[in-house]
Amino acid sequence: MSKILYIIIIVSFLDTFIQLPIITPYALDLGASHLLAGSIVAVYSLTNMVGNIFGGHWIDRYGRKRMLFTGMLFAGIILLFYPLAQTGWQLFIIRFFHGLAGGVLIPAAFAYVGDQTKAGSRGKTMALTGACIGTAAIIGPAIGGIMAARAKADYVFILVAILFFISLFLIYKFIDESFKSTEKGKFSFSEFMPLLKHPLVLQASLAAFAIMISNGTLAFALPLKVEEMGLDSSTTGMMLSTYGVVALIVFLTPLNRMYDKFRPVSLVVIGIMTIGFVHIMMNVVSVFWISLVLMVIYGVGFALVFPSMNQIVTEASSKVDRGKAYGIFYAFFSLGSVAGSFVSGATSDAFGLPFLSSAITMMTVGVIVFFIAKKYTKKEVE
């Protein structure tokens, strides 16, 4: 598979991660209320879901390369409008359209990855894409935070736009089309139903929802836990980086051979249960070094889940419907992003245990995925 695509995946996810530390302050600086600022953060994920679903159809209809190029082009143009926003509501509208464009981009990239990988090496390939995302997750917030601290928040959006336009050239020059449908069918939700009912797609989508619930909980609750321990925000960043670095080690070392050695659904269940255990412990632990060890364990759990659930989607789909399959998968991803911090905040207010909702979600999803897999395996044997 073209190494250029790995660069494109890093740039695509950098768009999301680089804005994490700056988008709320940026909205407040434009005069947005806290409610509007929260809506500005959330609307990206909400419209991303819409882009995932419609984009899934277009990816199968018009081809991976064309939709990858189109999503990157529109997202790059929209990024240039951020510095022009004068009010919170203008920023809200920009984020609305940014989410739609991003919703097409990511499924197209992963549908292409799925098309280009062979059955015996899919797990390792998905581990490498996970490493790309992990790299974006580590360097993105750092770059965004540093530039914002130097009063250059506008330049963050311009920087990413420039990276997008460079990626457009790379897509045009070096990426070959992997599939384009000859059918001329119009969009219909009914064409998604067989995939939604497919046990493998359902398992992967539930795992995606759970992992993003978990990440949203970390974003909301970890700073509170660090503050409770009497430490500052730099400790929060270090702890988040710890789990990202651990995941990268798994993705990029010979440990990644396990993705092709073991059944992906088994790795997903073990990983989800591992993360659920970490969240249970984070509710009761108030010692820094123990919390740091838990973040290492979290990184292992995340590393088990992410490539495996992407591998499941690839194996459950063919070139004819792979775009739609990844559209569904990333729609669940976006839904988890919206729900994670919100539900964590609600359980924190109700019970004083911000990690409780995520712990329950992870354990519940782990059990459901296990039983779906068991039932699906039994039907295959019969």
Mean pLDDT (the chain, rounded) = 86
Q: Which two tokens stand for residue 242?
A: 């710890």
pLDDT at 189: 65
List pLDDT tens digits, range 338-372. Answer: 787 677 777 777 777 788 888 999 999 999 999 99
pLDDT at 188: 64
Phi-psi region of 315 (alpha: psi -120 to 50; beta: other; left: phi over 0): alpha
Tell me which DSSP letter residue 117 carries.
S
List pLDDT tens digits, range 102-124. Answer: 999 999 999 988 888 876 677 88
Residue 381 pLDDT more than 50?
no
Give the mean pLDDT of 302-307. Answer: 92
DSSP per residue over 127-155, as a string? HHHHHHHHHHHHHHHHHHHHHHHTT-HHH
Give the mean pLDDT of 24-41. Answer: 84
How would you label 348-378 residue by residue, b for 16+ Cβ within 10 Å and e otherwise? Answer: beeeebbbbbbbbbbbebbebbbebbeebee
Count Cβ atoms below 10 Å from residue 176 Cβ, excluding itself: 9
Give the mean pLDDT of 271-298. Answer: 92
pLDDT at 116: 83
Residue 228 pLDDT more than 80?
yes
List pLDDT tens digits, range 145-183. Answer: 778 777 678 888 999 999 999 999 999 988 888 776 655
pLDDT band at residue 134 under the 50/70/90 scheme: confident
pLDDT at 313: 92
**Domains of the chain by range and CATH?**
1-175 (1.20.1250.20), 190-382 (1.20.1250.20)
Residue 237 pLDDT more than 80?
no
Of residues 308 and 184, the one with the higher pLDDT is 308
Within a 13 Å sphere around the CA of 367, how many CA atoms are in the beta-carbon half? 6
The proportion of the chain whose per-residue pLDDT surpasses 70, expressed as a percent, equals 93
Residue 129 pLDDT more than 80?
yes
